[in-house]
Amino acid sequence: MKQLEGKVAVVTGAGQGVGRGIARALAAAGARVVLAGRTLEKCEKVLAEIEAEGGSGLALACNVAEREECEALIGRTVAVFGRLDVLVNNAHTSRPMVGVEDTRDKDLALAFQGFHGGFHCMRAAFPHLKAAKGRVINLGSVAGIRGDAGFGAYAAAKEAVRGLSRVAAREWGVHGITVNVICPFSESPGVEYMIDTQPGFIDELTEQTSMKRLGNSREDVGATVVFLCGPGGSYITGQTINVDGGIWIAP
């Protein structure tokens, strides 16, 4: 029996990049995965990949910037599958490489859409996670931990995610719910954008890792999510786990 057999997981931003890798890893571990994203066609494509590998799930359109859509995502998941065990808040967007002095209100609003979406999904999912003694995985960023130049709005939003996660872990532990943060450095559309627009930037970051390579969204990041959602992760909560090849060595 696979370690997540019978579990139901929601992954936001699942149509590409890190979300795609996480969704595929969860499905391979036996979970039925609800793939949510702004572009339904992308999620349907990932669902087809999962089904081709023997997994199952559901693709749904969801713009996490809208509270009602977050609530509808959770409601639809429970209506179809009867339960919710895992919530992975991955969806985010931002405008990178903008100095603090040039950051505008619209940049902050854009970067914090993912934070608000994660919050709304967590709140809507709480009663179902409580019933299942479920798991929440929120995606942070090493850019926030390190304070990387050019990522002011993004780093602020991702550090807000970590703060919310710590509080939720403290409050929800009594219900058997674990809440953790993963900060990845892996292949993603954002990384591809930086490769195209900032020559040498990703190569420089990769050289700073201990492993000297860019992570794989499924085999590295997704595998960590599966562990946290499985039996081995049942007593881990309120933690930030950097899946970044050693680009940040925590004190």
Domains along the sequence of the chain with CATH: 8-239 (3.40.50.720)
160: nearest Cα among 230, 237, 108, 200: 108
Radius of gyration for the chain, computed over Cα atoms and rounded to the nearest angstrom? 17
- The DSSP code sequence of 25-39 is HHHHTT-EEEEEES-
Alpha-carbon distance of 12 to 14, in angstroms, equals 5
| Residue 193 annotated to the active site | no
Query: For position 77, what pLDDT does the model report?
Result: 98
Contacts of 24 (CB under 8 A, 6+ apart): 46, 49, 50, 53, 55, 218, 222
Query: For position 248, what pLDDT does the model report?
Result: 86
Query: For position 178, what pLDDT does the model report?
Result: 98
Q: Which helix (H) or strand (E) holds 183?
A: strand 178-184
Query: For position 144, what pLDDT does the model report?
Result: 93
Query: For position 105, what pLDDT does the model report?
Result: 96
Residue from 115, 154, 172, 185 carrying the catalytic annotation: 154
Query: For position 189, what pLDDT does the model report?
Result: 77
Query: For position 188, what pLDDT does the model report?
Result: 78
Q: pLDDT in tens for each of the 251 residues of the chain?
A: 899 999 999 999 999 999 999 999 999 999 999 999 999 999 999 999 999 999 999 999 999 999 999 999 999 999 999 999 999 999 998 988 899 999 999 999 999 999 999 999 999 999 999 999 999 999 999 999 999 999 999 999 999 999 999 999 999 999 999 999 999 998 877 777 777 787 787 888 888 899 899 899 999 999 999 999 999 999 999 999 999 999 988 77
Query: For position 197, what pLDDT does the model report?
Result: 80
Query: For position 201, what pLDDT does the model report?
Result: 73
Query: For position 98, what pLDDT does the model report?
Result: 93
88: nearest Cα among 175, 19, 186, 161: 19
